[in-house]
Amino acid sequence: MSTEISTAETKESVIETTSNLPYRPRRLRRSETLRRMVRETILTVDDLIYPMFVMEGENQRMEIASMPGCYRYTLDLLLPEIAAVYKLGVGAIALFPVIPEVKKDETGTESYNRDGLVQRTVKAIKETVPGIVVITDVALDPFTTHGHDGIVDENGVILNDPTVEVLVKMAVSQAEAGADMVAPSDMMDGRVGAIRQALDAEGYIDVRILAYSAKYASAYYGPFRDALDSAPKFGDKKTYQMDAANAREAIKEVELDIAEGADIVMVKPALAYLDIIRQIKDKTNVPVAAYNVSGEYAMIKAAAANGWIDEKKVILETLTSMKRAGADLILTYFAKEVALMLN
């Protein structure tokens, strides 16, 4: 009997609390029109940058096994693909080259060859699709026999300042070819300032720098390294890329890059680092980019191929979360698919 009474009392008090609720948030979720009216974050095609892979040869397109739907294109096939994505509204591409083994060496000299694959490709893009913003990657890993982003000494140590000298030559040769923006992804100290100085000195004052400022030593880059065949032959990248456990260090890297002249700063990867994107957004006044990297792409594709998730919805939800976290721009292999979805 006493139990019954206490149950009734509990019920009554719950009802009372409910009826006294001062506010009902569900009111604004009642219809799609209302939901659209109060939506805080809207992903648009203007937010997207499409990373693309170019290889030597003619009339070939090779799908990357761990990145279904992503291809390495020869230049002749890359150009129409770029024209197509530009037509869909994607404003920028980030270009990555597949360098043949015979062109690689210890110090990545091919990276600043005026007639190299990147330089020829940039020229051709600017001739055929002049409106698209071409972003070139500044790092040695596709060009070195050992696969590291820097010059390595006999003890396996990555040498900072000699590497920066090569990065500067690479960035200037990319600007000379017509790149709109150079993107140092190497994580050497002082490279943004050195590249800015050299670009200005050579007259490329309007070539922008998109700095991979907070780039983590991440296991999410695996499929990209397959795509470029650029996995390090020994060791790992932990002496230059950041420790996944650190957040304050990311702020320091961003502050340094801005002081050195970065126009846009980037966080990479994106999904496991949404907190970093938010902190950087709150602490800076330059546009913030996020790189939805190859491993993030591969996970969604693999789950979708198994029928375990709704691919389109998961893609949109994931990219929206990056924008909500503070990303003004998102580099994503989903760019073309998303442009098609949003159109």
- CB 254, CB 284: distance < 8 Å: yes
Stretch that binds ligand PBG, among 103-111, 135-143, 172-180, 334-342 (CB under 6 A): 135-143
Number of chain positions touching ligand PBG (CB under 6 A): 12
User: At 134, which helix (H) or strand (E)?
Assistant: strand 133-138
> Whose CA is closest to 146, among 185, 105, 188?
105
Which of the residues 104, 237, 268, 281 is marked catalytic?
Answer: 268
User: How many other C-beta atoms lie within 10 A of the C-beta of residue 330?
Assistant: 23
Residue 50 touching ligand PBG (CB under 6 A): no
Stretch that binds ligand PBG, among 57-65, 97-105, 123-131, 219-227 (CB under 6 A): 219-227
Residue 53 touching ligand PBG (CB under 6 A): no
CB-nearer residue toward ligand PBG: 74 or 163: 163
- Cα–Cα distance between 97 and 79 in angstroms, integer? 14
In the complex, minimum distance from the CB of residue 45 to ligand PBG, in angstroms, rounded to a whole number: 20
CB-nearer residue toward ligand PBG: 184 or 326: 184
Residue 141 touching ligand PBG (CB under 6 A): yes
In the complex, minimum distance from the CB of residue 247 to ligand PBG, in angstroms, rounded to a whole number: 20
Residue 293 touching ligand PBG (CB under 6 A): yes
Q: Which amino acid is at 322?
A: M
> Whose CA is closest to 260, among 330, 149, 184, 313?
184
Q: Phi then psi for 126, rounded to 5 degrees? A: -65, -25
Residue 180 touching ligand PBG (CB under 6 A): no
Q: Which residues of 118-152 are buried (b: 16+ CB within 10 A; e: fewer)?
A: bbbbbbbbbeebeebbbbbbbbbbbbbebbbbbbb
- As given in the structure block, the two tokens for residue 167 are 């990065």
Residue 257 touching ligand PBG (CB under 6 A): no
CB-nearer residue toward ligand PBG: 137 or 180: 137
* DSSP per-residue codes, 236-283: -STTTSBPTT-SHHHHHHHHHHHHHT-SEEEEESSGGGHHHHHHHHHH
In the complex, minimum distance from the CB of residue 188 to ligand PBG, in angstroms, rounded to a whole number: 11
For ligand PBG, the binding residue among 224, 240, 273, 334 (CB under 6 A) is: 224
For ligand PBG, the binding residue among 55, 85, 139, 209 (CB under 6 A) is: 139
Residue 185 touching ligand PBG (CB under 6 A): yes
Binding map of ligand PBG across residues 7-26, x = CB under 6 A, - = no contact: --------------------
For ligand PBG, the binding residue among 47, 149, 253, 257 (CB under 6 A) is: 149
- Cα–Cα distance between 183 and 213 in angstroms, integer? 10
User: How many other C-beta atoms lie within 10 A of the C-beta of residue 34?
Assistant: 12
268 in active site: yes
Which of the residues 104, 215, 301, 323 is marked catalytic?
Answer: 215
Stretch that binds ligand PBG, among 101-109, 164-172, 217-225, 319-327 (CB under 6 A): 217-225
Residue 236 makes CB contacts below 8 A (sequence gap 6+) with: 217
Q: Give the binding site for ligand PBG (CB under 6 A).
A: 137, 139, 141, 149, 185-186, 221, 224-225, 237, 293-294
Active site positions, annotated: 215, 268
